[in-house]
Chains A and B, each alone.
Chain A
Amino acid sequence: MDKENSAFFLKAVTFILLIYSSCYSQDIPENELDVRINSYFDNFRVNVIYPQVSITKKLSDNTSISGRYLSDIISSASMKANFQVDGITSATTRKQGGADNTPDEWRNEFGAGITQKVFDGILSLNSSYSIEHDYSSKTIVSALSYPFAKKNTVLQFSFLKSFDKVFPQIRTWVRDRNTTTFNAGLTQILSNNIITQFDGTYTTVSGYQLDGYQVVRIIENSNTYRTYEPVNPDFRIRRAFGIRTNVGVTRDFSLQLGYRYYWDSWDVNSNTISAKLANNFSPVVSGTFEYRHYWQTRAFFFKPIYIQPEQYMSVDSKLNSGYSDEAVFSLVLKGSKIYDVPFISSDKLSLTGSFGFYRRYTDSSDWFSNLQVLYAYTLSAGIRYNF
């Protein structure tokens, strides 16, 4: 696997942030500024820094607006390998794209949204535009959440539509990728210390869905091989169903358990189990530890090695069978007057930080790194300010 980092990293951010920023809450969001810097480093020599800024302004008791800027700065070894460079200096005549000292990808995303109270429900509309030198995306999301039974039950629905264009630097074509996602959820209070949530997602994707920088090598004899572009079915239906339950074990300690099942028309099936422990160590310090285990089957056309050209071909490791584990620690420090320090003595402020470790095993070696095990570290730090 490894260079989908450019095009698909951006898709991940767009989808996730839009869906999650599409307000599912039961109240209009308050004024808030959230600044964050996240990073990702792995043993496949992929490094990502992605700072983001989000601001929400409450215009009235019924309406709020939001704006967001996000930047993805990605360095990917496998992408560099696609360019002809000097083996010693890495010099190239290209101005960007991985063979020089600039990041392989530098994506900019701009988003805006509005949230409106409608009777007892919340309706929101968000949009985003993302651009980089080999990918562009326009996305719109609408979401509705509506409470019932004295807010013991909340139904949530969202609809996402995305229009992308893919134009890898090493290819001569430009291809479309269009996505439609329906999501429905139900959150239910079970008792004064237990809450549960069901969530289902149905997504259709049409167009180019592989990594334009990957190559399929077919060996012709012991010394030579021919390279081909990956080819995928141009339509994919993706479905997922999840359930999570959060139990307040003590006054300050809670346990969240989750399960998700996913299946799609490329024969990729997966199961995910997760557990999250959260604790308030003091009135101003809280922390969480989350563990996640995941396993999946391979896509029907995925092969680690092809011996002849086939209708569909991909060597992308994320379409391979395997499993992964993830552990994340995070801390939140709330500002308080108990601190005799100017910055964090404001109770409108909170500082967040997290550290994560991720390990993925695939049943055959990666096409580029030739490794079966991927290790990754994530670091994140942020400031939230309610003004």
Chain B
Amino acid sequence: MTKLKAIILIAIGCASLILNGCAVVQPWERERLSDPNMMFDENPLDKGAQLHFLFIREGTEGGDGSQSGGCGCG
């Protein structure tokens, strides 16, 4: 089995477990999640500036996630 297949299987497995195990959180229950400090990469420019020099000092890239939050607003 290639590493790619292994990673995909692990990812699908983790995702299945998580998605099956979590309850739907209603919009009015997301006060904590709406805080900016709960967002992934709340400011794209901050994220870009940080990854900026890592890209040229290290030989790898990607898989760093994307901007997203849990409040339905970002």
Residues of chain A at the chain B interface (Cβ within 8 Å): 1, 4-5, 8-9, 11-13, 15-17, 19-21, 23-27, 34, 36, 38, 40, 48, 50, 52, 54, 145, 147, 149-154, 156, 158, 181, 183, 185-193, 195-203, 238-244, 246, 248, 251-252, 254, 256, 258, 260-264, 268, 270, 278-280, 286, 288, 294, 296, 299, 318-319, 324, 326, 328, 330, 352, 354, 356, 358, 360, 374, 376, 378, 380, 382, 384
Contact B53 A20 (CB under 8 A): no
Chain A residues, Cβ within 8 Å of B18: 188, 190, 196
List residues of chain A with CB within 8 A of the CB of B72: 26-27, 147, 151
Inter-subunit contact B64/A242 (CB<8 Å):
yes
Interface residue ranges, B against A (CB under 8 Å):
3-4, 7, 11, 14-15, 18-19, 21-27, 29-33, 35-41, 43-70, 72-74
- CB of B23 within 8 A of CB of A12, answer no
Q: How far is the CA of A21 from the CA of B36 in the complex (A)?
A: 17
User: B19: shortest Cβ distance to chain A, in Å?
Assistant: 6
Asked if residues A239 and B33 are in contact (CB atoms below 8 Å), the reply is no
Given A200-B11, A328-B50; A318-B19 close (CB under 8 Å): no
> B47: which A residues are within 8 A, CB to CB?
16, 20
- 24 inter-chain pairs at a CB distance below 8 angstroms, sorted by A residue, are A9-B53, A16-B51, A21-B44, A23-B67, A25-B68, A48-B53, A150-B26, A152-B24, A190-B22, A192-B25, A195-B40, A195-B70, A201-B64, A239-B7, A241-B11, A248-B35, A252-B37, A261-B7, A261-B63, A270-B60, A319-B59, A324-B57, A328-B50, A330-B46
Partner of A36 from the list B27, B38, B45 (CB cut-off 8 Å) is B45
Given contacts A8-B55, A195-B69, A262-B62, 16 further A-B contacts (CB under 8 A): A1-B57, A9-B53, A12-B51, A20-B48, A24-B66, A38-B52, A145-B68, A185-B68, A191-B25, A196-B18, A198-B11, A198-B14, A200-B7, A252-B35, A318-B57, A354-B46
List residues of chain A with CB within 8 A of the CB of B21: 190
User: B32 contacts which of A38, A248, A328 (Cβ < 8 Å)?
Assistant: A248
A-B pairs with the 9 shortest C-beta distances?
A240-B63, A201-B62, A12-B55, A240-B62, A278-B37, A20-B44, A242-B63, A262-B60, A195-B70
C-alpha spacing A314/B50, complex, angstroms: 26
Query: A324-B58, A352-B43 given as contacts; is B37 within 8 A of A286 (CB)?
Result: yes
A156-B60 contact given A27-B74, A38-B52, A286-B37, CB 8 Å threshold: no
Question: Once the chains bind, are B62 and A254 in contact (CB under 8 Å)?
Answer: no
Is A197 in contact with B62, judged by CB distance below 8 angstroms? no
Which residues of B are found within 8 Å of A4, using beta-carbon distances? 56
A203 touches B67 (CB 8 A): no
- Nearest opposing residue in chain B for A382, CB measure: B45
Let me know if A183 and B66 touch, CB within 8 A.
yes
Contact A13 B38 (CB under 8 A): no
Do the beta carbons of A241 and B44 come within 8 Å of each other?
no
Residue of A at shortest CB range from B12? Answer: A198
Closest Cβ neighbor of B10 among chain A residues: A241
Greatest chain A CB density within 10 A among B29, B43, B70 is at B70
**Choice from B43, B52, B65 contacting A185 with Cβ under 8 Å:** B65
Known contacts A36-B49, A156-B68, A358-B53; A195/B63 CB under 8 A: no
* Residues of B with C-beta under 8 A to A21: 44
CB nearest neighbor in A for B74: A25
Tell me, rounded to whole Å, the shortest Cβ–Cβ distance linking B57 to chain A: 6
Q: Which of A4, A21, A190 has the most CB of B within 10 A?
A: A190
Do A15 and B61 form a contact, CB below 8 Å, given A147-B72, A189-B70, A198-B14?
yes
Which B residues are CB-close (under 8 A) to A262? 60-63
**In the complex, how many angstroms separate the beta carbon of B62 from the nearest chain A beta carbon?**
3
With most chain B CB atoms within 10 A of its CB, the pick from A9, A238, A246, A299 is A246
